[in-house]
Amino acid sequence: MTGYGRTGRELSQSGTPSRAGRDGVLWRPALLRVTLLRGSTLVETLVMMLVAGIVFLTVMDGMTLFTRLQARRAEALLAAGRRVDGYYRTLSLITAADSVCPAAPEWLTLYGGGRQAELILRDSVLVYRAGAFLDTLSDGVCLLRLEKCTAAPDTVQVGFGADFTAGFPVPAPARLYRIVLDEIEEGYGYEE
C-alpha cells in the first residue's frame, strides 16, 4: 500500500504511473514532460572545472585592469582639479592687488589693501607668502613673470605646466584711472 491509500497494482491499472521514454525523459499522461539530468564522466567534470577556472581567472584579470584604469583616471582628474583651483586662486590674488612689482626673477610683490604679499616660483611650485603665512597655490608651474605694457594693462604670465600659459591682467592703480579721465575731460572742453 502506498502513502495515499492505493496499492501499486491499482496505480499501474489507473494509467498514471510514469514511463521512461527516449532520451531519459519521463512521460506522464496527465502531467507535463519532465527532463532528467544526465550524469557526466570524470573527464567531462575535470574539463568543465578547467574551463571554469580559465574563465574565472580571465574575469579577475579584467577586473584588475579596470580598477587600475579607474585609479589612474581618478588621479588625473584630481591633478586637473588642483591645477584649476590654483589657477582661480592666483587669478583672485592678482585681481585683488592694487599693484604688482617684480622683486627678483620669478618673484613678484603684490600690494593691495594696505598689505604686501609675494608670489614666488620655487622648484616648479607657485607659493603665496603674506608675512608668516605660506600657501602653495599650484605645482607644475614653469613660468612666473610680469610683462610691462604701455598701451595695455600690465600682465602677469604664469605657465601652468608645459602646455598652458595664463596671462592675468593687473588692474592699474586708481590714480592712473583719474589721470586718464582728466585727459578725456580736457578733450571735451569741460571746465570746473
Please report the pLDDT score of residue 93 as a whole number: 87
The x, y and z cell numbers of residue 102, run together, are: 617684480
pLDDT one-digit tens code per residue, 71-117: 999 999 998 888 889 889 988 888 888 888 888 888 888 888 788 89
**pLDDT value at position 34?**
62
Query: What is the tens place of the pLDDT at every residue in 55-68?
Result: 999 999 999 999 99
Domain boundaries, the chain: 75-188
Residue among 176, 169, 177, 167 nearest 153 (CA):
169
Q: Looking at residue 76, what is its pLDDT?
A: 93
- For residue range 132-186, list pLDDT tens digits in order: 898 888 888 888 888 887 766 788 888 887 778 888 888 766 666 677 777 787 7
Predicted TM-score (pTM) of this structure = 0.57
User: Taking every pair of C-alpha atoms in the chain, what is the biggest distance, in angstroms?
Assistant: 131
- Take residue 96 and report the three cell numbers written for it: 585683488
Identify which of 35, 28, 34, 32 has the alpha carbon closest to the alpha carbon of residue 14.
Answer: 28
Q: How far is CA 162 from CA 14, 141, 157, 165, in A?
A: 92, 8, 13, 8
Grid cell, residue 35, equals 527532463
- Cell readout for 136 is 602653495
- pLDDT score, position 3: 54
Is the pLDDT at 192 greater than 70, yes or no? no
Hey, is 161 helix, strand or coil?
A: coil
Cell numbers representing residue 36 in the block: 532528467
Where does 34-186 show beta strands of DSSP type E?
Answer: 34-35, 99-104, 107-112, 115-122, 125-130, 133-139, 141-147, 155-160, 165-169
Retrieve residue 32's grid coordinates.
507535463
